Amino acid sequence: MKIQSLENTPVEEIIKTLNLAFSDYLIPINFTLDYVNERWTASGVDYSLSFGVFDNEKLVGFIIHAINRYGDSKVAFNASTGIIPTHRRKGLLTKLYSTAIPTLKENGIQVSTLEVITENERAILAYQKVGFKIDRQYKLYKFNWEQKEIESELEVEMNADFDFETFEHLQNYFPSLENQNHCLEKLKKSLVSISIFDKKEIVAYLIFHKTSNRIHRLGVKENDWNSFGEILFSGLASGNYNIINIDTNNNNIHSFFKKMKFENYIDQYDMSLEF
């Protein structure tokens, strides 16, 4: 077996290995080329700094790194890791990082981050063995929404042409890496915002993907979800939606989601490694 960068590996081959690696995952997933290209492009994937394990020229495991900024740091975000079932428990994750870290350091990167489902104990232990530590925890939600009108003096506005900076003062939690402005900017053509106005003041917002119905970001004035939350969601058309990576420390928003009977279907850890 050999480990090398993925810069010359067709993305179709990576996706094939990715789907095989996730075939027995906690949550059923089938990755498509369109989904992977959109998400990995937005997060800043660099295949020259991503690495794969090859067994007789067959890709059997990999780490996909997105090079980006997270807070004040330049980081290598683990956009995806996969080891196919036949090659697990062979220490391949440790070997991948042993190859990746020196190359990342040579490129001025001193931090790697990742997200992992809290129930995936085997993966968490493997990452901790490499040296990763848990920084914070996220909750993810899904819900079936039936649109309804709410009588209110507040105004609801939907807009496909918006500026992320307009909503900065309403952000009630620090967004995960893939939901930072500079990543979402690359998805802009697929995103729509809903804003709530009290006279001319914006008091609540959410941003969602018009194809996947994934809600990437949302926030309300003074974290007052009881006052602004329900009318904010009234701007959504009927359908199935999901909300990703809401920091568990924000009790107000989670209490509101519970009141709305949104399903908290998984939790994730945000982990990091400094080197």
**Domain endpoint, select from 131, 164, 199:** 131
Whole-Å CA distances, 157 to 13, 35, 172, 236: 43, 28, 20, 10
Q: Is-contact 256 229, C-beta < 8 A?
A: yes
Q: Look at residue 275 and tell me if it is in a domain.
A: no
Q: Looking at residue 216, what is its pLDDT?
A: 98
Q: Look at residue 210 and tell me if it is in a domain.
A: yes
Residue-level pLDDT, tens digit, the chain, 275 residues: 999 999 999 999 999 999 999 998 877 788 999 999 999 999 999 999 999 999 999 999 999 999 999 988 899 999 999 999 999 999 999 999 999 999 999 999 999 999 999 999 999 999 999 999 999 999 999 999 999 889 999 999 999 999 999 999 999 999 999 999 999 999 999 999 999 999 999 999 999 999 999 999 999 999 999 999 999 999 999 999 999 999 999 999 999 999 999 999 999 999 999 99
Same domain for 26 and 92, yes or no, is: yes
**Domain endpoint, select from 131, 153, 187:** 131
Same domain for 163 and 83, yes or no, is: no
Q: Looking at residue 37, what is its pLDDT?
A: 95
- The CATH number that applies at residue 65 is 3.40.630.30
Same domain for 49 and 125, yes or no, is: yes
Q: Looking at residue 166, what is its pLDDT?
A: 96
Q: Looking at residue 72, what is its pLDDT?
A: 85
**Domain endpoint, select from 69, 97, 131:** 131
Number of domains in the chain: 2
Q: What is the mean pLDDT of the chain?
A: 96
Same domain for 202 and 161, yes or no, is: yes
Report the phi/psi class of residue 162: left, alpha or beta, with left for phi > 0 and alpha for psi in -120 to 50.
beta
Q: Look at residue 222 and tell me if it is in a domain.
A: yes
- The CATH number that applies at residue 220 is 3.40.630
- SS3 letters for the chain? CEEEECCCCCHHHHHHHHHHHCCCCCCCCCCCHHHHHHHHHHHCECHHHCEEEEECCEEEEEEEEEEEEECCEEEEEEEEEEECHHHCCCCHHHHHHHHHHHHHHHCCCCEEEEEEECCCHHHHHHHHHHCCEEEEEEEEEEEEECCCCCCCCCEEEEECCCCHHHHHHHCCCCCCHHHCHHHHHHHHHHEEEEEEEECCEEEEEEEEECCCCEEEEEEEHHHCHHHHHHHHHCCCCCEEEEEEEEECCCHHHHHHHHHCCCEEEEEEEEEEEEC
Q: Looking at residue 124, what is its pLDDT?
A: 98
Domain span at 122: 2-131
Q: Is-contact 145 213, C-beta < 8 A?
A: no
Q: Is-contact 246 254, C-beta < 8 A?
A: yes
